[in-house]
Each structure stands twice: as C-alpha cells, then as structure tokens.
Chain A
Amino acid sequence: MGALAHEAHGHHGAHDHHEHHDEGFVSKYIFSMDHKMIGKQYLLTAVFMGVVAMLLSILFRIQLAWPGESSDFLSMFLGETWAPGGVLKENMYLGLVTIHGTIMVFFLLTGGLSGTFSNILIPLQIGARDMASGFLNMISYWLFFLSSTIMLVSLFIETGPAMAGWTIYPPLSALPQAIEGSGLGMTLWLTSMSIFIASSLLGSLNYIVTILNLRTVGMKMTRLPLTVWAFFVTAILGVLSFPVLLSAALLLLMDRSAGTSFYLSDIIVGGEMLENHGGSPLLYQHLFWFLGHPEVYIVLLPALGLSSEIIATNSRKPIFGYRAMIGSILAIGFLSFIVWGHHMFITGMNPFIGSVFVFTTLLIAIPSAVKVFNYLTTLWRGSLILTPAMLFAIGLVSTFITGGVTGIILADSALDIAVHDTYFVVAHFHIVMGMSAVFGMFAGVYHWFPKMFGKMLNTRLGYAHFWVTLVGSYGVFFPMHFVGLAGAPRRYYDYSVYGEFDTNSYEMIMDLNVIVTVFAIIAAIGQGFFLFNLFYSIFRGPKSVQNPWRSTTLEWTTPVEHMHGNWPGAIPEVHRWPYDYSKPGHDEDFVSQIVPLKDGEEEGH
C-alpha cells in the first residue's frame, strides 16, 4: 500500500513539475497545497502572533514593576479605555495575561512550532513528494489563520478579551456577571479555540498518515531522524488529547448559552441566585488538563527533536543513544497522558488520587534525564561548530535542565501546596515552554532557513540575537522563582497589597519585579535582531548552497529552488541511519543517508 501510494505520488509530482510555470500567485502563495509553502505560512503567522503576545507581556510587566504609575507606552497601545491616564485597568490586566498565555501556548508553540516544522520537514526528511493530503493540509493552515484572526479580534471588543486566565476555569469563564471578559470575549475565545483544534487535528492526522505511509524505500522507522520521531509522537498526542479540550469547550459553551449545568452548581453571582445544581467545576479541570498536560509535550517534543538533529549535525557526531532517544520520546508521550492530575493537587480532588499522580509525574523525570545525558554525551568529544542554531540548541538543553528540576518540586504534592499558583510555577513553565520550546523554534528557524527560503540568515545578527535572548530570558525567569518562594501569587494586578501585612516581602517582590521587567524589555528589544534578520534575509540574504551544514538527512539532497514534488528525478533511496557523522572509514565527516553501505560496513546504531 505504502509503495503504491508512493508510486502514484511520484507520477503526480512529475506531472506538477511540467505545469510549474502556469502556477498563479494565489495558488502558489495563498491557497497553496505545497507543504513547504504551508510551513512558511505557519511560520510567518506564528511569528506575528508571537510578537503580539510578547508585546502583551511587556504591557503587563510594566504594570507589575511600576504599579499605578502612568506609562506612555501603556496609553499608546491601550488608549483611554483600558489604560486611563496610562494606568492599566484591573480587568484588562487579566485580559492581557489570558491572551498572552493562550497565544504563546497554542498559536506560537503548538501551531507555530509543530505546524511549521512538521510541514516542512516531514515530507523532506522521510523522502515523500508532499503530505498525504495537500488539500487537508491547506485547510489546516487556513483554519489556523482564521482562529488566529478571531483571537486577535477579541482584543478589540468593547467588553475586552477573555479574562479568566489561559486555563479559563469555570464558573469564572461561564459567568459574564463575574467578569466582563466572560461575555463576548470568552465566546470569541471558545470559538477561536474550537477552530484551532479542528486545524490541529487535520494537521496531526496528516502528519501521522504521511509518516506511516509515505516513507521512501529503505526509510525504516529506525532510520527516521529524531525530528520526525518527535513530530510523529507529537501528532499522536494531539489527536488523542485535543478532542477532549474541544468537548470541554463545548460543554462550557452549553453552560454559557443553553442553561446546562455541567460545571455550575449552587452559585450566586451579581446578586442573582442561579438554579444550576449538580455540575462540577472540577470536571472541567480534569478535561482541560487531560489536554493541558500532553500539550506541554506537544510543545516540547518538536523542540527536542529539532535540537537533537541540530546538535548531532553541529557536533559532527552521531546523536548518542539513538534508540534510547526514541524510547524516551515514546515514554514521555505515554506518561504525559497519565499525569494531568498534578495540576489539581489542591483543587479539592481526593488526596489519594493526588498521590497516584505524584508517582506518574515524577516518573517522567527519568526519560527526561536520559535525554539530557544523551545530549551531553553527544557534545562530549565532538567537533562543535557554534552556529546560531547550535547555540540555541545548547541553550535549550540548559533551560530544559533548569526548568526540569523545578518540576520535581511541583510534581511532589506535599511541596506543591506551598508554591502552587505562585510565581514559582510561572517561572518553572516559562523556563520550559517560554525558553526551551522557543529556543528550539529559533534553532529550527536558523538551521532550516536555507531550506525554507533558499537564502542564508546573517550569522552575526544571529549571535547577537542569541546572546541577548539567553541573558534576557534567564534574567526574566530566574529571579521569578524567588518571587514565588516568597509566596507571591500569580495573576495579581498589584503586589502593593503586601505593604498592608508584610513590608519586607513587599520590598523584595517589588525589587525583583523591577529586575524582571527590565530584563523582559531587553529580551523583547533583542527580538528585533531576529525579526530584522528574518525579513531582510528572505528578500536580500545571500543565496544558499544545497547542503550548507553538511548534513546527512534527505532534505539536503533536494534542490535549493523549491519545486512541487521536492526531488526533480526519482525519490532517493535510503541506505543508512541519519547520524553517520565522522564515521571512521569515510573521507568526509558526514555520510548522507542516500549513500549505500560500503562492503563490510556496519550500520551505525
């Protein structure tokens, strides 16, 4: 079956090639069904969304560092409605936090990271002409675009965007009487997310089918680059968990508009006694986190996959423990489904169930540790070429360690009580998702930019971008742990309340908040290097060669100029695993996957 589809695809590709010159602007750049173009569309949309979400974070960081002080910057972006006199409104603070989180987690790190690189790399690295269904792939992108648009529109409505935090726990998210953002803003949020989920499902199904069916001759599962393995497991996680979020959102929509009581019980709000009885807000939390935790790995696994590839290439060494790496991806993927309860230790859930989740959650530390040690051993005795991509990949490993170890505190329910919902948690997941995953994405962009656009990014700007980002973001999230250990709750508009009962803590929190905000502003400005580099190089960057990083995988055997079907002739066959770097007995320090084994040569792993 696989071979048949493969053949059919082959002909299709060749056919397309002849028609290449007739292609119109719309079908080439807008409603394109070519996976490479769709990947680029994902990237640019996600970059835009990421810039918006970063800007939102700067707006509320200014409020946190200098509460109540008038800021021209705030009034410039929020105007008199949401920042009268340049002072942020309480409700809008929550709105900004909510939309910042939503965009970053879903639109940048799920849509942007997985969408971009799965699309670009899966067909190229497995040796396929395109995705299994180019049409569904196109629909997937345009649904993503639509949901992004709706999410952005919700920032501009009169009652403001959703304000219940990115986890939108009901009843707060179900009752417009409780907060104004739970009116139209929340409806738009739920609509946008429903569309997003549809987009993500179409994409994920496509990735899975493509990886299983369209691998080229010789591309056994154990010869797949780790990137593809990561995308594969990520897609499976998405398919299994996103529908649960959809059902959670639908039940919430019904509670909001159809008078049902899935999540509502015994509530009096705004002076009105509601009749809803028997629902449970905990049900929502279970459903949400059943997606929410795998989501963390949906965000992280692609980043780890990308960095595995980049670290191996630029160390000129095989990735250490290839099979162990696959094993840990699978183990992490499996475990991620049975740990969701660690977000709910103190929600009133039965403590015994809590202890089961402590056990499963801490187990995840084992495959994660294996991955870190394997990265370290890959670097050991390598011949490192510190390209910007490599630097970001190394930064990823560092932040994966730093963010990972604090997870051990949070996974331990007895300790979680003391720091749950404080800035310690915020620091933890920002180091893992805001740094590790984002670093993975940057690494991917720097590494595969030549493949995407046929041009080279400027290396010096890349260096400047890396160092500002590394120092800036560590400077933001490291001190944040100490704010959390002092007990400061998250999602507080103003920590001046501490002045009423503990002046020492108050001073400490305020000092650290200023440090954090200053670093945040530095890091945000540093992204200017990246944005400039990206857009400048797309148009004016020097032309790339076919295989600039001297890499072994299949995508570097395609021509620099993009074409439908990826390879001009037949699809190359694969004869070896993807990590033959510096293999003794070869002249070059890399052996492409398409090179047959020599007589008597053994395959790497």
Chain B
Amino acid sequence: MSFKLITLIVIVLGILAIAQLVRVYELSSKLRNRREEDITNRDNRLNGNLMIGFMLFLYIGFIWLMCTYGWTGRGVSASAHGEETDWLLNLNFIIIIAVFFVTNTLLFYYTFKYVRKPGVKAYYFTHDNKLELIWTVIPAIVLAVIIILGLKTWNDVTGESGKEAIKIELFSKQFDWTARYSGQDNTLGLSDYKLTTQENELGIITTETLDSAIRLMEIGKLDGTVLGIQLLEEKLNNPKNIFIPEDRVKMEDDLDRKTRLLRLLVQMQFRHNKKLNAQAYDDIIQKDTLHLCVDKEYEMSFRAKDVIHSAYFPHFRAQMNTVPGLVTRLKMIPTITTAEMRKKMNNPKFNYILMCNKICGGAHYKMKMIVVVDTPKQYKAWMKSKMTFKDVFLAKPAATPATPVEGGAMPADTVKLAIK
C-alpha cells in the first residue's frame, strides 16, 4: 500500500516538476523571441559534441564487455564440428565488428563535423554512380565469401554421419529428457506413440509391449488409474452411477477415441514383424544424465511426446528441435571429456548440459539433462552397469491382468462413486 502511495506521489511530483520547467523555458523563449523550430547554434553544437561523447561511451562499453565476458561464457568448443563453427564465427565477427566500427564512426563523426555553421552552405550532391557501384559491389563480394564458407560448414555439419556412428535417441516431453542407446546391434528399436504406457514411456514396439498396450486399451488398470474400454463401459452402463451430463459426454468421447485407437493398435499387432523385437530388446534407456564417449561419432535422433522442444548443447555448438510426429537428427563428435573441460573452464563443478531451447510450457527453463563425456574406459564400465530394455520391461510384473476381469468386479473409483 505504502509503495503504491509513494509511487503515485513521485509520479505526480515528477510531472509537476517537468511542467514547471517547461513553463519557465517557454517564458524565456518568449522573452528572447525564439521559436521552437529554431535550433540555436549552441544547441546544435552541444548535440554534435554529445554524439562524439556517446560514440566513445558505446565503444568503451563494447570493448569492456568484450574483455570482461567475450566468449568465456561457453568456453572452447567441445565437439569436432564446433571448432569449425567457432573459427567461422570468429571470422564473421571480425568482419562485422570492423563494419560496425567504421560505419558508426563515420556516422557520429559526420554528425559532429557537419553541424550547421553560419555562412556554410550544404553541398548539393544528388548521386554518383561510381561511388554507388563501389559500395554495392564490395559488400556483395564480402557476402559471397561469407556465404560460400558458411554453406561449406553447414554441409559438413548437417551431412550424413559415418557408418560407425553410435545411434542414440533423445526423447523429450514436458519437462524432461530421456535418452535411449541402441545397444549391441547399434540399431534403435522401432517406436510408436500409441504404445506409450507407464512401463514403456518411449512407445517402443515389441511383441510384448504391443500386447500390454492393447490390454491396457481394452481393459485399463484395475486400480482405476487408467480406464480402458471395458472399465469405461462398465462405469457408463452401471445404473448406480450418476454423472453430470458433461462428464458423461466426456467419458463417451473417451470411449469412442479409445475404440478407434484400439483398432489401430490391433492392426499394428497384426502387421508386427517379430524379427524386429531383437532391435528393441538390447536398447538401453537412460534418464537424468547422458553419457557420451569422447572422440566417438554420435548420430542422434529426436522425438517429442507433447509439444515442440529443442535439444540445445551449447558447449558442443549443436542444436535441433524435437517435433511431435517427426523424427529429427543431428550428428556430433565430442572431443573433450568432462574432466578435461573442468580444467579448461577452471571450475571443478562444471558439467556439460542439454537444455530445452524452445518454449514448451511453464517449467521450460528447468528442462535439462546433464551430459557427461567419458573416456572410452569409463564409458564401457558405465555401459556395462546398465540394464537393457528387455531386462527392465520383462522383469516387471504385468501391469494389467492377463485375463479379462469378470463382469461383476468394479474398479476402485467406480465403487467410490457408487457409494456416494
């Protein structure tokens, strides 16, 4: 309250103060018979000098920022293509900073120098084809160099990865990342979003995951946390249940949707080639940290579950959006291990990071994954400690009953509703 009052008072006083100053100024103008559009030589010169002053402020500020912060924010590039990017970036920076200084200096200097002087008339100069040709052609040549070098790097960066490249998938959802390594065979198992369940968050396609997804869709979970078609029908058909019309419509829509999705799932099961199971069985799913092996090429593919995210590795100069319904990719060779980078950054707690760099919801800023670049030895040891998808998925007790529940049994939340 007091804050609002003070703000209000300050604003009112400020306006009054300016108004008073303006009145004094107006009176003095009137006395001197000076009109508003007549800019005095004194004002002109003052502003011309201020332009030079401002130029110095701008340049000193720029140089100070460069000296203090420069590139240090991200350190040297930790990936092979990143070195090329950085080289090109530095070259471009030299060009544009030169242009920045030269043109800005001319601008501020001319403003200072050619300020109106009594008796000096402006020079009538309408055009000069030669001059204009020069400053069309020179930028064109410089830009041609920039374009050619840029496209060369771009082709290298986005080109195909080698056959040996290790395949990794990064799966994004609000608000975390999950990595999937392709395992021994270096082939990622197929995936489809319709197979997504609590046990199979990435929707990997195998005979078993198809079965369990279909069962979940048909029945649901007995504790009532997931309503399948059967549970929904029971709930809707039970005369003891009374629903608000909107809820009923919602549940009926849900039922229709699940029926259609089920049909697609059954078709998928029908077409499924069991030989492909092996590709998925040896995949390794990894949350919280992404481990990479130094000097190995990686072929990363990206998927998104809900909205667009962006996989941004600032230290590796790599970035790619993840798009629902589309698989995107990038390739990368990490060249500096985390331990080495800590030394270079002079920060024992430093870690590489994978951040989300496309607005994806309220906790967008928290969506990240620590990246660790290991030596080959560490990497192997770490990999050994991981369980494959098959081990994890098949070891879990089946989440839904193998046989359909009998007609009489009511799921938990239906019972609650019935009691009400």
Q: Which residues of A contact B (CB under 8 A)?
A: 72-73, 76, 89-91, 94, 163-165, 169, 171-172, 175, 178-179, 264-269, 273, 275, 277-282, 315-318, 320-324, 346-348, 351, 354-355, 358-359, 362-363, 365-366, 369-370, 372-377, 379-387, 391, 394, 397-398, 401-402, 405-406, 408-409, 412-415, 417-418, 420-422, 450, 456-461, 463, 467, 470-471, 474-475, 478-479, 482, 485-489, 491-495, 497, 500-505, 508-509, 512, 528-529, 532, 536, 541-542, 544-545, 548-549, 579, 581-584, 589, 604-605
Contacts and interface: CB of A to CB of B under 8 A. Distances in A.
Most buried by B among A358, A384, A422, A508: A384
12 contacts: A172-B307, A178-B174, A370-B139, A373-B132, A374-B132, A386-B47, A387-B39, A408-B92, A422-B357, A485-B70, A528-B14, A528-B18
Given A281-B326, A384-B116, A385-B44, 9 more contacts: A269-B306, A281-B308, A281-B324, A401-B104, A417-B85, A421-B310, A467-B50, A502-B350, A582-B121
B366 A269 contact: no
B195 to A, nearest CB: 10
B147 A362 contact: yes
Most buried by A among B14, B39, B44, B356: B39
B111 A379 contact: yes
Nearest to B18: A532
B325 interface: yes
B58 A460 contact: no
A412 B117 CA distance: 45
Contacts of B196: 268, 273
A90 to B, nearest CB: 4
Interface in B1-17: 3-4, 7, 14-15
Given A94-B359, A470-B54, A383 B117 contact: yes
Contact of B107 (A351, A401, A413, A581): A401
A90 B363 CA distance: 7
Contacts of B51: 394
Interface string B50-84: 11001001100110010001111110000000101
Contacts of B362: 89-91, 94, 163, 179, 493
Nearest to A532: B18
Given A265-B324, A351-B158, A501-B370, A369 B135 contact: yes
A497 B366 contact: yes
B236 interface: no
B154 interface: yes
Contacts of B174: 178, 269
Contact of A383 (B107, B114, B125, B346): B114
A414 B88 contact: yes
Given A402-B100, A494-B365, A366 B143 contact: yes
B28 to A, nearest CB: 11
Cβ-closest 3 pairs across A and B: A486-B73, A265-B325, A487-B314
Contact of B151 (A358, A501, A584): A358
Nearest to A315: B122
B69 A512 contact: yes
Contacts of A422: 357
Interface residues of B, number: 130
Interface stretch (B19-27, B390-398, B402-410): B19-27
B323 A418 contact: no
Given A320-B126, A376-B103, A414-B88, A76 B150 contact: no
A320 B127 contact: yes
A151 B2 CA distance: 31
B257 interface: yes
Most buried by B among A91, A275, A495: A275
A471 B25 contact: no
Most buried by A among B44, B314, B315: B314
B307 A269 contact: yes
B270 interface: no
Given A386-B48, A415-B88, A485 B122 contact: no
Contacts of A265: 324-326
B247 interface: no
B114 to A, nearest CB: 5
B187 interface: no
Given A376-B103, A398-B104, A421 B358 contact: yes
Given A76-B4, A383-B122, A605-B127, A487 B73 contact: yes
Contact of B18 (A269, A391, A461, A475): A461
B365 A280 contact: no
A218 to B, nearest CB: 19
Given A321-B132, A409-B89, A503-B349, A414 B154 contact: yes
A171 B307 contact: yes
Nearest to A484: B73
A382 B114 contact: yes
A317 B310 contact: no
B325 A280 contact: yes
Contacts of B346: 504
Most buried by A among B29, B62, B193, B357: B357
